[in-house]
Amino acid sequence: MAIDDKLALLTTGDLTVTGRLIDASNATLYASVSISEQSLPCIYKPIAGERPLWDFQDGTLAYREYAAYLVSDALELNLVPLTVLRDGPYGFGMVQEWIDIDEAVDLSEYFSSDLPELRAMAIFDAIINNTDRKIGHLLPDQSGALFGCDHGVTFHSQDKLRTVLWQWSGDRLTRAEITLLERAQRLLADELDLSAYLTHDEIASTQTRITRLISTGVMPEPSRDWPAVPWPAF
């Protein structure tokens, strides 16, 4: 299905909830969107189902999920499934295309591999300050593409990177990766307006992190000030 058709379905299609992902800490509902004969499976996360967190403002996780998609899309990384903000049966929230993962991939081995798509995800997580990159949040599909999900706890103004993708810690960034970061720097400064979804301090901190990555020229290293790996890791 073409991207434009998927976007139309996610944005304006009839949203029907058919199940719930019971392992998720916030309300994460399996649903479908449909227009006439076209339909698309999706994930629906209503803001009303978000669990309060001590370090993130209440009612902001859906906006952070959408901001993460916008950054991935603007940088042409294609690491976040197609995502929109819209109303639904349980109120306003995030709706995201469902990704069927390749069941032949053993995630317990896959996550620690030295693969370019995983390294791209690690850099993306450093940009958005992802505090919760778990193994189960990696979605390799049958085409060989990799997507990531659950980006609600991102873009904090304080450095909070927590991830299972530390295999390149301290490695030199490639010229292509530096170019990507420089493009991200320009996008946030001039082209990609995230002010409807993040605070001024959060946007400024994102820009600072990108500048620091360019300056140091190395992949992020685990902090000694907080747990570097989310728990549970899967």
What percent of the chain has a predicted confidence (pLDDT) above 90?
93
- pLDDT recorded at residue 188: 95
Contact (CB, 8 A) for 207 and 183: no
What percent of the chain has a predicted confidence (pLDDT) above 70?
100
Whether the pLDDT of residue 21 is over 90: the answer is no
Q: Give me the residue spans of the domains in the chain.
A: 3-216
- Domain range 3-216, CATH architecture: Orthogonal Bundle (1.10)
pLDDT single digits (tens) 93-147: 999 999 999 999 999 999 999 999 999 999 999 999 999 999 999 999 999 999 9
- pLDDT recorded at residue 225: 83
Tokens of 230: 């989310």
Whether the pLDDT of residue 25 is over 90: the answer is no
Beta 93-97 vs 83-86: how paired, if at all?
Answer: antiparallel
Contact (CB, 8 A) for 192 and 71: yes
Strands laid side by side in the 29-35 sheet: 14-20, 29-35, 38-46, 93-97, 83-86
Q: Which helix (H) or strand (E) holds 74?
A: helix 61-74
Query: What does the pLDDT average to over 202-210?
Result: 98
Query: What does the pLDDT average to over 204-215?
Result: 98
Contact (CB, 8 A) for 223 and 161: yes
Whether the pLDDT of residue 24 is over 80: the answer is no
Using CA atoms, how far apart are residues 194 and 75, in angstroms rounded to an integer? 14
- pLDDT recorded at residue 26: 85
pLDDT single digits (tens) 142-173: 999 999 999 999 999 999 999 999 999 999 99
Q: 191 vs 71, 110, 183, 188, CA distance in Å?
A: 11, 35, 10, 6
More confident residue, 23 or 121: 121
- pLDDT recorded at residue 229: 95
Tokens of 215: 């300056």
- pLDDT recorded at residue 189: 94
Whether the pLDDT of residue 86 is over 80: the answer is yes
Q: 86 vs 14, 15, 29, 44, 149, CA distance in Å?
A: 11, 10, 14, 9, 18
Round to the nearest angstrom and report the end-to-end CA distance of the chain: 31
